[in-house]
Amino acid sequence: MQDVHPLILCGGIGTRLWPLSRTEHPKQFQRIDGNSETTFFHATVERHRAPGFANPIVAVSSAHVATVLQQLNDIKCPARVLAEPISRNTGPAVLATALTLAKTDPASLICVIPSDHIVKGDLPANVLAARKAAEQGHIVLFGVPPEYPETGYGYIVDGGALEDLTCARKVSSFIEKPPVEVATALIDAGGAYWASGLSLFRADVLIEEFKRLDPKTFDAVKNALDHGFETEHAFYLNAEALQPAANLPTESIVFEHSPRTVIAPLLVAWSDVGAWNALHHIAEKDDDGNVLSGDVISIDTRNSYVRASSKLVAVVGMDDVVVVDTDDALLITTRDQAQQVKQIVKKLESIKRRELAQHMRNQMAWGEVRRVQSGPGYELRMMTLRPGTMLPMIEDAASHRMVTVTSGSGLLKTGAVTRPLRIGDNFEVQAGEAAAIYCGPETEMQLVEVVCDVTVTAAEAVASLQLVHS
């Protein structure tokens, strides 16, 4: 019996989990809570390292390939990485995976798995229990029995029994994010499930349905594969070829229009963690109904979610609140208003605030970078390289870099010249030049970097220098 291929989708941004989730470092790569180093992505991959499953395939934006590689290395998991040069939702990524696997085995079983959900229970057993339906040519969608009338989820309605199959049932209809009265009626009537985003099917079945329902996207994805390129770590789809593909989820391109679609129950505790209240709902709570992570002191506070980052957070006399602290932003809201965080994100976008896209402290493939100070025309950073890693300093016509080594040792490569680096060494990388820093194999290396934007005006530059020296 062949193994199921987990396809882990990493394309979302998770704006309603700001300030944890940001454009350049979205929620799937962040820690699930402040008390553990496990990220949403780590947990998703580990969940499917089980008998009956092959090594995962990870579909991710080209911008986040290095993060995926680092987090796979964290848990020592081999995987194939499919890099998407432009955002096209889930449909093209799923089809590209099916076309790739079909080259060697058209009947390959693919399980599509979002990377940013929380699951408690034996999800792999639920998936494998439905494999007979997928092997027979059905597209299996996994539905979660609803616990309450959630208006932020899609619903799949049971359409009755399937002949000769007990592991899945027909689909009657799809209802996307209904108002509360409709969601309540669906639950009261029975037979409705939350759409989990997980699916299971044969590669050739999905390919046939794409050809039939969206031949334009099929041709675009096939061309993007044919004209893509492979590196040591990932396969990159061709951006120009992928451009005409539909920017839509697989559900709306294929699943909702295919007679092959069936539903199987997912008997686990599940949340897509679409907002902070969802994390409170699914997490273990203390005697006061609170979920506290990080360095938190709570007094006379109930039914709240409080998450600390690098400082002590004290909460007194609060009920039903959400408090999320990061290095450079603090969110305070009520649990029933947590969905409105997306309005903050829109505001940050309109005024072009850095906090929308970047954290002050970010984990990179080579180590960690922390923004210490910034202003018009400059940014001061602290960087830590892990032993044996390389930090690429990519050519940038607008940026002049000045770097000091504060601990450790390694090598600096600029053009054809390579020289050693030791504590106290200083060097510059001129605008328009590239360089690479190699950390020695024994100990980590720490650097202080000042990046100056050479395109700023003289007045801005003077103001920046005055700020640095003040």
pTM: 0.81
Which of helix, strand or coil describes residue 180?
A: helix
- Which pLDDT score is estimated for 232? 87
Q: What is the edge-to-edge ordering of all strands in the sheet holding 378-385? A: 361-363, 367-375, 378-385, 445-453, 399-407, 426-429
Taking the domain 5-271, which CATH number applies? 3.90.550.10
Give the distance, in angstroms, between the CA of residue 70 and the centroid of all CA atoms in the same chain: 13
Distance CA 90, CA 245 (A): 11
**Measuring CA to CA, how many Å separate 360 from each of 22, 31, 221, 399, 448?**
11, 16, 36, 19, 15
Q: Where are the domains of the chain?
A: 5-271, 277-341, 366-469
Distance CA 331, CA 342 (A): 12
The CATH homologous superfamily of the domain defined by 366-469: Jelly Rolls (2.60.120.10)
Q: Which residue has the tokens 């909702």?
A: 256
Per-residue pLDDT of the chain (470 residues; tens, 9 = 90+): 789 999 999 977 778 889 988 877 888 988 887 677 889 999 999 999 999 999 999 999 998 898 898 899 889 999 999 999 998 899 999 999 999 999 999 999 999 999 999 899 999 999 999 999 999 999 999 999 998 888 888 999 999 999 889 999 999 999 998 999 999 999 999 999 999 999 999 999 999 999 999 999 999 999 999 999 999 889 999 999 999 999 999 999 999 999 999 999 999 989 888 889 888 888 889 999 999 999 999 999 999 999 998 899 999 999 999 999 998 899 999 998 988 898 999 999 898 888 887 777 777 778 888 888 888 888 899 999 999 999 988 888 889 999 999 999 999 999 889 999 999 999 999 998 999 999 999 999 999 999 998 887 545 545 544 544 44
Exposed, middle or buried: residue 108 (CB in 10 Å: 0-12, 13-18, 19+)?
buried
| pLDDT tens-digit readout, 406-463 | 999 999 999 889 999 999 999 999 998 999 999 999 999 999 999 998 887 545 545 5
Which of helix, strand or coil describes residue 145?
A: coil
Which two three-digit tokens encode residue 390? 């390389």
Q: Is the peptide bond before 85 cis (omega within 30 degrees of 0)?
A: no
CA dihedral 12, 17, 21, 23 (to 10 degrees): 60
Exposed, middle or buried: residue 361 (CB in 10 Å: 0-12, 13-18, 19+)?
middle
- Which neighbouring-strand residues pair with 8? 58, 113
Distance CA 390, CA 439 (A): 6
Q: Which residue has the tokens 């099929």?
A: 218
CB of 386 closer than 8 Å to CB of 379: no
CB of 436 closer than 8 Å to CB of 391: yes
- CA dihedral over 5, 238, 365, 18, signed as positive or negative: negative
Which residues make Cβ contacts (< 8 Å) with residue 213, sequence separation at least 6?
A: 253, 254, 257, 258
Distance CA 123, CA 46 (A): 11
Distance CA 71, CA 115 (A): 12
CB of 402 closer than 8 Å to CB of 449: yes
Give the closest residue to 264 by CA, choosing from 148, 164, 152, 170. 170
- Which pLDDT score is estimated for 83? 94
- Which neighbouring-strand residues pair with 333? 322
- Which pLDDT score is estimated for 470? 47
Distance CA 336, CA 321 (A): 8
